[in-house]
Amino acid sequence: MNFRGIMARQARVLGVAVSGTLAFATLVGCATESDSSMTGEFATTESAVAQETQIESDPPVVSGRVVAGGLVTEDLGIVPAGQVMENVRVERVVDGDTFKAVVDGELVSVRIIGFDTPETVKPGSPIECFGPESSDFAQAVLSGADVTLEFDDTQGRFDRYDRVLAHVWLPTANGGQVLYGAEVVAQGFGEERQYGDEPTTWTAVMRDLEQEAKAAGLGVWGRC
């Protein structure tokens, strides 16, 4: 069963009517993308996706062992609120907000939602300020980790190029979970980003953390 089949099966378990084209529309959610920056973010051509520069991975690290002094959002007390898929192995980090994972034998691209990081691999675009640092952070935290994907009905399940759209949760040493996007924003490796008119599940949390990072001059806010 491929990844879309798994999504359809989970939707049926939740009592969602899934059939043919209606199933695709239901899963994708057709999120309105009114933010003008969406063009540069989600409108990557298929050829551009194929040209993504591969970041050479260091040996996998223990999940939760990160750069910049460690996890800073463990005490937020938040847990996944939407439908989840657990134990998804990160095979390759592309940049600060995208990675490759294998699900049921199928290699899929995951675009982590709720934030944006500076570009490092976009064809035809320069490497942006603090982009390498953001990618290094993603490498340290995500590479080889078994993560939980949380789907958000405000954003849909896939973008137009079949990248999976999800929040990502990291397991911690004490048995808890940390929202990767919250960690990125809290440490200044990226900024909160909402596409379309409807906030994501974690938009309010991200915005509060972003204000704190700005005030402290962390990451992009102090360097760029």
Which three-class secondary structure string do you get for 24-54?
HHHHHCCCCCCCCCHHHHHCCCHHHHHCCCC
Say how many Å lie between the first and final Cα of the chain, rounded: 45
Q: Is the pLDDT of residue 183 over 70?
A: yes
Query: ∠74-116-201 over CA atoms, to 5°?
Result: 55
Residue bearing the bigger pLDDT, 145 or 16: 145
Per-residue pLDDT of 108-146, as tens digits, reads 999 999 999 999 988 888 999 999 999 999 999 999 999
Q: Is the pLDDT of residue 12 over 60?
A: no
Give the pLDDT score at 5: 62
Q: Is the pLDDT of residue 31 over 80?
A: no
Residues assigned a catalytic role: 111, 119, 163
Confidence bin at 4 (pLDDT 50/70/90)? low
The mean predicted confidence, pLDDT, of the chain is: 77
Give the pLDDT score at 125: 83
Per-residue pLDDT of 52-78, as tens digits, reads 433 333 332 333 333 334 688 988 999
Q: How far apart are CA 122 and CA 141, in angstroms?
A: 21
What's the pTM? 0.72
Q: Is the pLDDT of residue 22 over 60?
A: no
Q: How far apart are CA 100 and CA 91, in angstroms?
A: 6
Listed by start position, the domains of the chain span 31-223
DSSP letter string over 49-88?
HHTPPPPPPPSP--TT--STTS-S-GGG-----S-EEEEE
Domain 31-223 bears CATH identifier 2.40.50.90: yes
